[in-house]
Structure 1
Amino acid sequence: MRYLPLTGHDRVDMLAVIGASSIDDLFVDVPDVARLDGPIHDLPMHASEMAVERHMSALARKNLTAGDAPFFLGCGAYKHHVPASVDHLIQRGEFLTAYTPYQPEIAQGTLQMLFEFQTQVARLLGTDVANASMYDGSTACWEAIGMARRITRRGKAILSAGLHPHYVSVARTMAKYTGDVLDTAAPRLTADTDFEERLIAKIDDDTSCVVVQYPDILGRIADLKPLADACHAKKALLIAVVTEPVALGAITSPGEMDADIVVGEGQSIGVGLQFGGPYVGLFGCKEKYVRQMPGRLCGETVDADGRRGFVLTLSTREQHIRREKATSNICTNSGLCALAFSVHMTLLGEAGLRRLAAINHAGACRAADRLATIPGVRLVNDSFFNEFTLDLGQEARPIVRTLADRGILAGVSLGRLYPSEGALANGLVVAVTETTSEADVETLAVALEEALA
């Protein structure tokens, strides 16, 4: 059978059924500026394989990669050491080529791995249950908002100013099609979150959920329990977003503080930066909400002979029998990345994760103390894990560019994340992990002081 077996007549019939006159009608939501009207300019129509390889290699050499420079980037994607054994194990043929575990009798290994992944995630997030993963943290965040709407039958979500702006952007994109109202704001360069002043004050009878990041985009850590109590008093849900799961080796998990849904990005554990993906979304919730949870959930059972076995227990997605009643149109789990997460977490164990978290925090404290001695630099945070924000006293973006030209990836400028918020232009978010040496910190400190002079 041909890979694309439909005939022209088949396509005409399909378009007629959905009321479209041509295939172009399917792309009307794509802005004209983003659509090609012909071949890509300056790109040759053909080239030899060797010529393409040489050209792509030359382009790749222009990159300044995470391993080639003092590296302080974070804001949702972190450079951690991934043991070589993780890569070795996930490349075993039975894992690398495994796909959807529809048939448990021939997919016991994949199902058991996903079951163990779910157990690890649930314990890490402090939730009763967890699913078999999502695409990434941002889509998991939106799915949690959609889940809150189904549970509460309300359509207003209050998003903390400390929520990553990319996560907010994903939520806005999806809310256009669901009608959810998103109450958003930009953060301020202060040590205080917007919990008391804004979030709690805004919760009303129309609120489906409040979404907070923990630690937040500036690295700040706050007690979620008072906010959870305020949400529950109005029968709303608290959604906590964790973009740095290593932090949960040192700080209280959101589930322990009564968050109803906890989601996050699992990239820090087992998954390299990989130029932006693929990553792995984490999703956990209270058990009473499990049937509204998106994605898949693997369960443990026994077979006809009483032997331990694993099955795909819940899978309320649009490809399955639920169809239009599905809780999500996310049609898969990030299986290989989830495996990498699970292998790395297994190698660490609870004690190893806590030691790793302690190393991260101690290194960040030393870096914050050193960088705060630079004239004109102010440490914004009162609390943080391995990421903190500096107020440079002048616009951070050109400083970051200057240091990048010197081979130092100094951090993420808030002006890049919030280009329309002038009050944040001086902010620089700095991340420190176990891969950051004291020499790296000193190199950054000396270069930053020179650039600010």
Structure 2
Amino acid sequence: MRYLPLTDTDRAEMLDVIGASTIDDLFVDVPEAARLDGPIEGLPLHASEMAVERHMRRLSKKNLAAADAPFFLGAGAYRHHVPASVDHIIQRGEFLTAYTPYQPEIAQGTLQMLFEFQTQVARLYGCAVANASMYDGSTACWEAVAMAGRVTKKKRVVLSGALHPHYAEVVRTMAKFTEDEIAGAAPALQAQPDNDGLITRIDEQTSCVVVQYPDILGRLPDVAKIADAAHEKGALLIVVNTEPVALGAIKSPGELGADIVVGEGQSIGVGLNFGGPYLGLFAVRDQKHVRQMPGRLCGETTDAEGKRGFVLTLSTREQHIRREKATSNICTNSGLCALAFSVHMTLLGEKGLRALAAENHRLTCLAADRLAKVPGVTVLNDTFFNEFTILVDGDARGIVRELAEDGVLAGVALSRLFPDKEDIARGILVAVTETTSEDDIDALCSALKEKLA
């Protein structure tokens, strides 16, 4: 049964208030080519519940699950083992039913969890303060760019060519509404990042420089050198990290001079989930920038009886008072995913995270060494954590597709990420985690050897 409580008169009055003649006027910003002009072809207008269930089961059988094949996909979403205890804890009623903790007297559990989460992210990123999470890594990246503009009062944004293209696209989309000038670039398909090339693009009008660490090709840029160059021009350095497990093995961005560190937290505590929901991380190295941070911050205090307690300390969000001065239009945080991150991180501890990172790197080195011996395969990277780029003799995208049909998920063809860059067509981004077995690596090598023969 459809639930449509509004009458035609109600709709007419609402349209009159906002100055629209018809409902179609609300969609004028959507390109006409993207709008439907009728029902979707081949999709019935109605069907029984049982018929829909049967249809969806048939469709699901076409899927190849990550756990059912050698799996080497990455590029910002990584398959890690999430202990069963994480799911058990986050489904406890006191967590699962909690929403926005505006009333601290009845939300101490949620507030304490967020406080602990912020502490973990700040230590992981080498920063002074972290917020209580964002939507995901790409939106956190844009929020960092917007924050840098507020701090520096400048409008030019320099993006590394090796920034994840999805993150760069979010920045470009949002910049249309702020009139920021986005100075982007394409990635150079070479063993080392072009640190000097990035630095030459920084000028006195630059508000911030955005660099990914490790970058989209799996390489490790010289963050400290880029930070010095940015600061010399009065710009902030924003470092994006899409694989937080890497920070168990490499120096934190804050330690290397980053002013703002953002990233995707999915790798810790959150499954692949068909691409979401995920978890945006956001931290600043200097406390003086705290009031320009987006989102919310939870703080520790004492109550009237002197007991330890937690409160929502800062929440400069658009639905609150003085909304015209809000730092962000993001209205919530990824609370449940943040809880999963915090639980998993707590279970790991510092030693566990370092051990997990070491195992990821060990298996990745093994995969790189074995792939380098396959005729027709060249390993591009000199440095990497758990992700690296290989070049194949042939069309990488076609090869990846054929291997998937044979039950091997070989990686992400770079031409999917950079469709307009022709010289990248031979590249495949390969990710290896602790869930990858040596048999999986051998299966990938054998499959590539056969396809490239």
Measured in 1, the distance between the counterparts of 2:21 and 2:147 equals 35
Query: Does 2:386 correspond to 1:386?
Result: yes
* Structure-2 separation of matches of 1:355 and 1:98: 33
Structure 1 pair 6–300 and aligned structure 2 pair: CA distance change class (3 A): farther
What TM-score comes out, normalization by structure 1 length? 0.97
Name whichever of 316-325 and 112-121 sits farther off. Answer: 316-325
Q: What's 2:266 paired with?
A: 267
CA contact (8 A) 1:294 1:328 kept: yes
Q: Could you tell me how far apart the structure 2 residues matched to 1:13 and 1:231 are?
A: 53
Secondary structure at the counterpart of residue 81 of structure 1: coil
* Cross-structure match for 1:54: 54
Residues 1:122 and 2:122 are matched in the alignment: yes
* Shift in Å, 1:189: 1.5
Q: Measure, in 2, the Cα distance between the counterparts of 1:326 and 1:178.
A: 14
What CA deviation, in whole Å up to 9, does each residue of 1:46-68 have, x standing for no partner?
A: 11111101100110110011011
Change (3 A) 1:134 1:304: same
CA distance in 1, matches of 2:427, 2:187: 11
Query: Which residues of 2 match residues 141-290 of structure 1 at below 5 A?
Result: 141-197=141-197, 199-285=198-284, 286-290=286-290
Residue 349 of structure 1 and its aligned partner are, at CA, apart by 0.2
Query: How far 1:76 sits from its partner (Å)?
Result: 0.1
Output the amino acid matched with 2:288: K
Percent sequence identity over aligned pairs: 73
Letter in 1 for 2:70: P
Report the Cα distance in structure 2 between the residues aligned to 1:149 and 1:208, rounded to whole angstroms.
6
Query: How large is the Cα RMSD of the aligned pairs?
Result: 1.4
Residue by residue over 1:256-291, the C-alpha shift from the partner in whole angstroms, topping out at 9 and shown as x without a partner, is 011000000000000000010000000001211111
Q: 1:419: how far off?
A: 1.1
Partner letter of residue 269 of structure 1? I
Q: 1:22: how far off?
A: 2.6
Q: Which amino acid aligns with 1:376?
A: G
Deviations 1:401-425 (A, max 9, x none): 1100110000000011111111100
Residues 412, 429 of structure 1: 8 Å contact kept = yes
Deviations 1:4-32 (A, max 9, x none): 77665554444344433232222111111
C-alpha distance in structure 2 between counterparts of 1:13 and 1:260, whole Å: 49
What is the CA distance between 1:169 and its match in structure 2? 1.1
Residue type matched to 1:205 in 2?
E
Tell me how far apart the structure 2 counterparts of residues 98 and 300 of structure 1 sit (CA, whole Å): 19
| Aligned: 1:42 with 2:48 | no
Amino acid at match of 1:444: L
In the alignment, what sits opposite 1:311? Answer: 311
SS in 2 for 1:278: coil
Q: Which residue of the partner structure matches residue 132 of structure 1?
A: 132
1:74 is matched with 74
| Conservation of the 8 A alpha-carbon contact between 2:297 and 2:312 | yes
The alignment's TM-score, normalised by the length of structure 2, stands at 0.97
User: Conserved in 2, the CA contact under 8 Å of 1:189 and 1:391?
Assistant: no
| Structure 2 stretches lacking a partner, 5+ long | none
Please list every run of 5 or more consecutive structure 1 residues that lacks an aligned counterpart in the other structure.
none
Q: Distance in 2 between matches of 1:153 and 1:140?
A: 20
Question: C-alpha separation between the residues in 2 aligned to 1:322 and 1:427?
Answer: 49
Match of 1:33, SS state, is helix
Q: Paired residue for 1:432?
A: 432
**8 Å contact 1:188–1:423 — kept in the other structure?**
no
2:195, 2:222 within 8 Å by CA — same for their partners in 1?
no
What residue identity is the alignment partner of 1:358?
A: A
Distance 2:14 2:144 in 1: 33
